[in-house]
Structure 1
Amino acid sequence: MNSKLENLWEEVRELSLGTTPQIDRLHTPPTPLQFLRHYLSQNKPFILSASAATTLQWPATTLWTSTSYLLNTLSSSTVSLHLTPTGQADSLTPHPSNPDSLCFASAHVQSTSFSDAIDAIKASRKNDSSKGFVAYAQQQNDCFREEYGALARDCDSHIPWATEAIGGLPEAVNLWIGNDLSETSFHKDHYENLYAVVTGEKHFLLLPPTDVHRMYIREYPAAQYTYSEESEEFELKLENPERYVPWCSVNPYPLPKDKEKEISKFPFYYNGPKPFEVTLKAGEILYLPSMWFHHVRQTPDNRGLTIAVNYWYDMQFDIKYAYFNFLQSLSFCKPRLNDGDSFINENLSNGDKNHKEE
């Protein structure tokens, strides 16, 4: 049966992405009809290159390179700042009471002035950290139109060719400001995502929905970080009442000392087709189709900041979604994994948390 899975992975790549599978790079924006026919309906990603003169004709592409402009424009704004010990939130970390097992940890979130948020992000960079945390300014609740409304005139309110093809405006528009330590673990979203980098770079690993069994989705107990400014320390507590979150178990960048162990635990990931690697530069847009798995790292600009805006459009819960749920529900692939000293069965359960760090 594993050979049939492998055939599926290869056929999806060949049929949707070509005989030498790669992510299309467009040098002119698609028309609504081109987007609908060639990408949206086929659940196929693409990059709209910065070389296209009409890619991002936003004031933001020049204005937001000035920290002074951002500070002046948002001088009276309060924003949500996410704090973690390592820069990884909505990710797996050792269980607070049993280090041999894992839990799903969410960031400590605090409201702060935009000025203090920028200071915290800059102070928590790699090799230059004076803090015991990594800071990331974002909130996945339409924060660009809410917390950062003073900047709204600097960007398009929607992506016109996507809006026309999809038949509606984006449900949410979000702003992300982070540094070189901010990292997003593998996950999928039930949205059609148009992701635009304004400054710095974003580095994506992408896998199609049919690779779901390579993600080793298991249910993990949910936990929350809390940060004390007095002690400058984090505490990780399990949620009460208890809650479990289905999450991808694979870390695509294990430490060298851990790599052999990771390969043995997750052979479908490491021995299958390589993820698509995409670097999104300033001025470029990635169309990330619904339910594609993605892992994200970033490289900041010369100020130490990466700034991006993404547009979440509702996906169609159609036959494609039914096929994916059926595939994910198949239980023929349940390898036993060594999690610490105990062996547990792999859980390939349905579902995923919709909104993630990026």
Structure 2
Amino acid sequence: MEIEKLWEEVRELNLGTSSQVERLESPPSPLRFLRDFVSPNKPCIISNATLHWPALSSWTQPSYLSHALSSSPVSLHLTPNGLADALVPRPDDPSSLCFVSAHVQRMPFSDALNLVSSSSLSNSFVAYAQQQNDCFHSEYSALAPDVDSHIPWATEALGCLPDAVNLWIGNHLSETSFHKDHYENLYAVISGEKHFLLLPPTDVHRMYIRDYPAANYSYSQDTGEFTLELEKPLRYVPWSGVNPFPSPADRDREMAFFPLYFNGPKPFECTIKPGEILYLPSMWFHHVRQSPDERGLTIAINYWYDMQFDIKYAYFNFLQSICGPSSFFLPEARTWEVSDISIPTTSADAANEDLSCSVLSATHNDIPLATKSEPGASEIAILSEVADA
């Protein structure tokens, strides 16, 4: 298939055939960073990048953060399982999926930190202290002296200061599903470890992105239970249904639903430790899990630099809009075929979708539907509320 040749060529010509991310032992010069990584849209890990930050020692002290932030109000995100910005069964139709965001609650930082440390599945919720759109400056400004306000060599290479700096404090249960951002992302770990799976923008068809209705969790302190409500008016979010770590019981089903992901080239894998920075190029798909420190916490800070909306962005939008492998769709029979599974679509599905140019999109108990051959505005919009774990 032509699309599979593209995946192979990108790796052979630009990224390498190994699934490991290139590692630098010290920060690069601005010229090297721009030439070897930003321009070719290639990730890298920079070791010994933040050893001069006071945060690496002070933020690991049990009382430092609570004392520095005292009663400062921060945003705490609550979910039943640690998965925010993820796909779950719709409240009005469990056979279909929706895109759900976390319940967000404002509270003093010391209370938020205690909930993050103690939260577990047995406690009925998982807490995650984060709020995007420059939360480090808006909610955690007291910690500003402990880190650099920007990454100097990246700032010079990119020709601008970061649009936003965000702080993330979670535990081992926090997980982020596959997504992409329209930013050049410099991701620094302070405590614990972050585990990334990465796929280049050319692998967009392997993500099985389709539009899902948006919903929100609401948490009741009285009952200790979550409710799930669709947004009104209804809003749709383009999202990937791929779960790269299915349970053994679900693996065969997931592989049948998402063969391009599971049968294609392996994702790039990397673990980011304290003192290291991951350069995550714009539009790269990434899935994130984490391991905590001895306190049960993982702390990271990331710098979002605006990307150049240049010819690479135009190429990506074109690639996203064109046909996937035609062998997956038999238009005469209105039937999806994946391995030994054949599921007919309804006539209503066919009427509502442009079936002339599609790839398979199915998740869990969803009835497989065709993705639109031309992306809607929401598919190319910049999503500012993506949880990066």
Would the TM-score normalized by the shorter structure come out above 0.5? yes
Q: Is the 8 A contact 1:213 1:268 kept in 2?
A: yes
Number of the residue aligned with 2:45: 47
Q: Is 1:344 equivalent to 2:369 in the alignment?
A: yes
Deviating more after overlay: 318-327 vs 7-16: 7-16
Q: Is the 8 A contact 2:20 2:270 kept in 1?
A: no
Deviating more after overlay: 107-116 vs 324-333: 324-333
Q: How far did residue 254 of structure 1 move?
A: 1.1
Specify the code of the residue in structure 2 equivalent to 1:240.
K
Q: Check 1:200–1:139 CA distance in 2 against 1; reply closer, same or farther (3 A cut).
A: same
SS at match of 2:63: helix
Deviation readout 1:102-157 (Å, 9 max, x if unpaired):
0000000010000110111111146xx4x211000000010111100000000000
Number of the residue aligned with 1:117: 112
Q: Check 1:281–1:91 CA distance in 2 against 1; reply closer, same or farther (3 A cut).
A: same
SS at match of 1:67: coil
Q: How far did residue 19 of structure 1 move?
A: 4.7
Q: How far did residue 255 of structure 1 move?
A: 1.4
RMSD across aligned C-alpha pairs, in angstroms? 1.5
**Separation in structure 1 between the aligned mates of residue 86 and residue 143 of structure 2, nearest angstrom:** 30
Number of the residue aligned with 1:224: 216
Q: Is the 8 A contact 2:78 2:126 kept in 1?
A: yes
**Separation in structure 1 between the aligned mates of residue 264 and residue 312 of structure 2, nearest angstrom:** 23
Q: How far did residue 331 of structure 1 move?
A: 2.5
Q: Is 1:356 equivalent to 2:386 in the alignment?
A: yes
Q: How far did residue 76 of structure 1 move?
A: 2.9
Larger radius of gyration: 2
Number of the residue aligned with 2:254: 262
Deviation readout 1:293-325 (Å, 9 max, x if unpaired):
000000000000000000000000000000000
Q: Is 1:322 equivalent to 2:314 in the alignment?
A: yes
Specify the code of the residue in structure 2 equivalent to 1:85.
P
SS at match of 1:257: coil
State the percentage of identical aligned residues: 65
Q: Check 1:14–1:147 CA distance in 2 against 1; reply closer, same or farther (3 A cut).
A: same
Question: For structure 2, which runs of at least 5 residues remain unmatched after alignment?
Answer: 326-357
Number of the residue aligned with 2:53: 58
Q: How far did residue 204 of structure 1 move?
A: 0.3
Specify the code of the residue in structure 2 equivalent to 1:357.
A
SS at match of 2:155: helix
Aligned counterpart for 1:17 among listed residues 15, 24, 29: 15
Q: How does 1:191-270 map to 2 (within 5 A)?
A: 191-270=183-262
SS at match of 2:132: coil
Q: Check 1:204–1:338 CA distance in 2 against 1; reply closer, same or farther (3 A cut).
A: closer
Aligned counterpart for 2:97 among listed residues 97, 102, 121: 102
Q: Is 1:280 equivalent to 2:266 in the alignment?
A: no
Q: How far did residue 172 of structure 1 move?
A: 0.3
Specify the code of the residue in structure 2 equivalent to 1:146.
S
Deviation readout 1:218-274 (Å, 9 max, x if unpaired):
000000100000011000000000011000110111111111111111100000001
Number of the residue aligned with 1:136: 128
**Separation in structure 1 between the aligned mates of residue 100 and residue 193 of structure 2, nearest angstrom:** 25
Deviation readout 1:28-73 (Å, 9 max, x if unpaired):
1100111111111111100012xx3x54310000000012011100
> TM-score, with normalisation over the residues of structure 1?
0.95
> TM-score, with normalisation over the residues of structure 2?
0.87
Q: Is the 8 A contact 2:96 2:366 kept in 1?
A: no
Number of the residue aligned with 1:38: 36
Q: How far did residue 91 of structure 1 move?
A: 0.6
**Separation in structure 1 between the aligned mates of residue 18 and residue 62 of structure 2, nearest angstrom:** 42
Count how many residue pairs are aligned between Structure 1 and Structure 2.
Answer: 350
Q: Is the 8 A contact 1:176 1:307 kept in 2?
A: yes
Deviation readout 1:184-236 (Å, 9 max, x if unpaired):
00000000000000000000000000000000000000001000000110000
Q: Is the 8 A contact 2:76 2:107 kept in 1?
A: yes
